Structure 1
């Protein structure tokens, strides 16, 4: 049986990722096998989890996935000693309308799996009120059990004492307190998946974080508070069809994001995946029957992509006879042009008429439910696809036929419908699952 916990907080930016990575690495350094998960659609944190544990981490999402899919994904922790699910946003934060099995809130996963929650509390600018917040979170939903709290950014020993006393009086365990002056954080930069050349740097940072947290947090007490969990057999797995039998997947610093569970589902269905690097001016494998360009950061490499004539001509030649699909950044590269943050226009592959710009940044963020108006690799017209969109680009032109009717989680229609032309298709959302 594994010891299972959820790491959450009252809000974003409190230190969930820092604590998750520190606990995972500290326990791994003790010789324990640690498996991490990420609640919600965030695609950066699972890469950090993998760096901390040496095991692939996947997303579990109550808005996009049913209980069977979630049970199937978490069963990968069956051979672990410790299982940690890192939450997103605040513990109960999700969308207004319920999805497949919940609203996307971390609390959905905690209740569904029966895993107690360790809260990261930042008491900056308050003292006893921090206990009131923790008690409110503990009592808000009957099916969610609070294990205890870790305080982050504590101002002084006196400050810590005030907060600790209030929490203990409220019947809430305090596992430790991290001082503000020694705050630790991960670098705020474009990472996507952790690139190979960054692994040494990230590994050193995680080691330092683990040592710091181990000095201030009672790791044994945290472990004792965990649920003893043994995964139950899942009635069904992921409802994700591979886009083809042999998939040419763009994979480098410009195309760094695809959900790990998607690749695993494709391979489990018998598909073969070969990777190529557009940044290295490579072309898709000639033996592939479909090409997939995932999201990433093409805006950071737009000049190089525009200059890589071999990649661009090779992709166009591939698309003459076989499907090519792009998600978000990959969709932009399939378009006619991409204007970077400095206002420079770069020619892209031209397989679609899409023109995008980062000159005026505007955030597009949220769940998406798309009903396909035409086929895309792996999915037929009428299929209902659930995904997530997160980018800062604006559409200058989107002249091709729409690929889908797309709505957000509230049911509002979205302008980002995706496009189709010939064998090329693209979407701004990253696919998570298809409705059964």
Structure 2
């Protein structure tokens, strides 16, 4: 139990902070009605969380390297739990926005430490298995957020989205204390700007950052898939979320299986394959017309999910092989920031592409084709620029 208790604690933390990124989206109409709030404050309920996450990733990573990843993970979970409780009991929209910002502080600490904790808790084949399961949980959480948010909002209350975090986070804290060994940080160093700069002298690290930005941009097309499902096909939030379940399931199964083979296949090969499959999945979803249904994108969603399932554990393994252990925190902070940047840029760029269509269906087809091209470009970057030897500098 102790052996895999660490992975359970780490996966729970990842699950919580990722689901809260997307679950709130489907609850916004109910939140607005509860507080008679306009669109602007409702947008801040979403944006303040992701903005704080992105802003604090690098700082949180450096702090974790200094004080120890386990300590900062526990601190992050504690802050996240307290803020979730306030969100669930909030008397007004202003308090909700402020508490969501505090959630982002805790989420940043959780996000940058989970990866390093896997590295310090597991080695060899066990690390590969742990990376696979962790990647599977991440993929599942990203897709399950809207479903969970829709179910809780529809059958209980939007407040339940936040309240349910509390017992799960407390369980993660208890498992962390019991199962994860304390590894001291490097005390006495301030924000590791020199360490961050030195990372960008490593060729493979630069390539991983580029792949992270582009791959996140590719998968931003899911935003517009949701718009089509709910706006054009008139599916409710729960049904729209269920339409994306094949993506989540294929990601989960593939990532779990790939984790068992990470020791035998070079990460750059898996990264390239994962990105190729992601691009191919987007291409398969193109070609929609006025008579298309959710089943029309099923094959493409499954192929995309397989690509994500291959990509996520491989990216983690490549980062482990490239970055010195004492800089895991700041490296993960940079990597997560790159993905956040890619997601933001992807939504912006693909949004322009979507609006260039003559209607929603045509716009979505264009989005899928552009996303496919980005996926193929990222695959080429991974194949050509990620090296197998550690610490190669440019």
TM-score, L = length of structure 2: 0.29
Report 1 or 2 for greater relative contact order, CA contacts < 8 Å, sequence distance ≥ 6. 2
Structure (1 or 2) with the larger CA radius of gyration: 1
Looking at secondary structure, tell me which structure has more strand per residue: 1
Looking at secondary structure, tell me which structure has more helix per residue: 2
